[in-house]
Structure 1
Amino acid sequence: MVNYKHVSNHYETLKVSPSASQTEIKQAYRRLVKLFHPDSHQETADHEQIIRINAAYEVLGDNQNRRNYDQQLQNQSQTLNSDRLQRTASAQKHYQTRRKTGRQADEQVDEWLRRVYQPVNRLLCGILYSLEEQMDQLAADPFDDELLDEFQEYLKICRDDLKQAQITFRSLPNPPSLARTAAHLYYSLNQVADGLEELSYFPLSYDERYLHTGQELFRIATRLHSEAQASVN
């Protein structure tokens, strides 16, 4: 039984074309055997090559063996082409998937910036950068009822804006690439909430320590908010 599972191509071994005639194959075989046989040419003798040449001629020198071998080569070629096509299709699919995933990630970032970051940023700016003016007005006379009423109304507006900012912040999961930005916004919102709570105690007790603590919490919130802005830019 002839074993056709050779790594090398028998036509290449005999240095003939796959369309070569039987006569051409026989001539090539004789020429190569003479070239590599130690009794003919000592300087080009190659025992391993002789073995390969004999194996090739055993297949190609017989018509039926050659037809079987040609069919095997054809099947191998079809298999290689099929594998190549599958690899190409797989690579294209992988590329398209990565491209789609990247596009989806970009769209997710854009949506979060538009629907969450921008409105929350706007509300935070309104709260954080209005406190100084309110404190200046209250400082004119911290015990004046009208000024206190205005201050409490200001705190109410801030609490309403803060609530809206918190709802908006929770309305959409943040993209992984903006986790740092989201974290800064989250902690800034928390500091604002604590600061407003401290400030709201002042009209009840007239204890200025609540004003100082509230202002300090707002300063922390402002720093965190600035870091959120910087991480986006």
Structure 2
Amino acid sequence: MVDSKHVSNHYETLKVNPNASQAEIKQSYRRLVKLFHPDSNQETADKEQIIRINAAYEVLGDSQNRHSYDQKLQEDSQKFQSNYQQRTASAQKRYQTTRPTGRDADEHVEAWLRLVYQPVNDLLDNILNSLEDQIEQLAADPFDDELLEEFQEYLNACRDDLKQAQLAFRSLPNPPSLAKTAAYIYHSLSQVADGIEELAYFPLSYDERHLHTGQELFRIATRLHYEVQESVS
């Protein structure tokens, strides 16, 4: 499910990739306005959403405004990364000074499995096991605006689950005995991230190759996820 506390940026509001062209941004803007405007579609009308869409397009639809906005996003991302690196370094330092041995090592493994492996495993299950149903629903009419909107919402929900999984994965250093498990998790999360972004290109181009590539990336992530589960069984 989408986290209600999550605040979309302008790219997410217009349901486009940050690398989208100006033409793709304009195309998506027009489609969303048509979907949510009360004059064109009473069933899906949403005045607040129209306000957000117009505000996003006012920024992204202008190349200069978009460039300034991209710089701000990059600065925010760098601040987040810097804070994360500081927290990680601090955690690693604490870990090094209290390196567990014997019983402490067992407790460390137990804590990592409970606080990292289990939530990440559940979130990956949620993402990987839901794609097939979404593709089947979309296949009913890949050009239907409502189905495309639902597909976009699904991808946004996957992004939220992925962010939670990534944060959980980074929250504790993995025990040396579970280094292989951690590596499998890392690569599975990476494949999921690439798969989501590949799938997100389909509503912009209607090119089914993006769906096929995204599905293949999810299949790779699923195999890695299976290896994760096998490594701790």
> 1:206: which partner in 2?
206
Residue 153 of structure 1: CA displacement?
0.2
Residue 211 of structure 1: CA displacement?
0.2
> 2:195: which partner in 1?
195
Q: Secondary structure of the residue that 1:212 maps to in structure 2?
A: helix
Partner amino acid, structure 2, of 1:110: E
Q: Distance in 1 between matches of 2:111 and 2:101?
A: 15
Map Cα deviations across residues 169-226 of structure 1 (whole Å, 9 max, x no partner).
0000000000111000000000000000000000000000000000000000000000
**Could you list the runs of 5+ residues in structure 1 that have no partner in the other structure?**
1-99
Residue 112 of structure 1: CA displacement?
0.1
Q: Distance in 1 between matches of 2:180 and 2:101?
A: 21
> 1:89: which partner in 2?
none
Identity within the alignment, %: 78
> TM-score w.r.t. structure 1 length?
0.57
Q: Distance in 1 between matches of 2:168 and 2:231?
A: 19
**Could you list the runs of 5+ residues in structure 2 that have no partner in the other structure?**
1-99
Q: Distance in 2 between matches of 1:102 and 1:187?
A: 30
Q: Distance in 1 between matches of 2:101 and 2:201?
A: 50
Q: Between Structure 1 and Structure 2, whose CA radius of gyration is higher?
A: 1
Map Cα deviations across residues 9-43 of structure 1 (whole Å, 9 max, x no partner).
xxxxxxxxxxxxxxxxxxxxxxxxxxxxxxxxxxx
For residues 1-233 of structure 1, what are the structure 2 equivalents within 5 Å? Answer: 101-233=101-233
Q: Distance in 2 between matches of 1:156 and 1:105?
A: 38
Map Cα deviations across residues 153-175 of structure 1 (whole Å, 9 max, x no partner).
00000000001100110000000
Higher relative contact order (CA 8 A, sep 6+): 2
Residue 146 of structure 1: CA displacement?
0.5
Q: Secondary structure of the residue that 2:201 maps to in structure 1?
A: helix
Paired positions, count: 134
Partner amino acid, structure 1, of 2:204: L
Partner amino acid, structure 1, of 2:153: E
Q: Distance in 2 between matches of 1:184 and 1:101?
A: 25
> TM-score w.r.t. structure 2 length?
0.57
Q: Secondary structure of the residue that 2:141 maps to in structure 1?
A: coil
Q: Give the ranges of 4+ consecutive aligned residues of structure 1 lying more than 3 Å apart after TM superposition.
A: none
Q: Secondary structure of the residue that 2:101 maps to in structure 1?
A: helix
Residue 101 of structure 1: CA displacement?
1.9
Q: Secondary structure of the residue that 1:101 maps to in structure 2?
A: coil
Map Cα deviations across residues 125-163 of structure 1 (whole Å, 9 max, x no partner).
000000000000001110010000000000000000001
- Report the RMSD for the aligned CA atoms in angstroms: 0.8
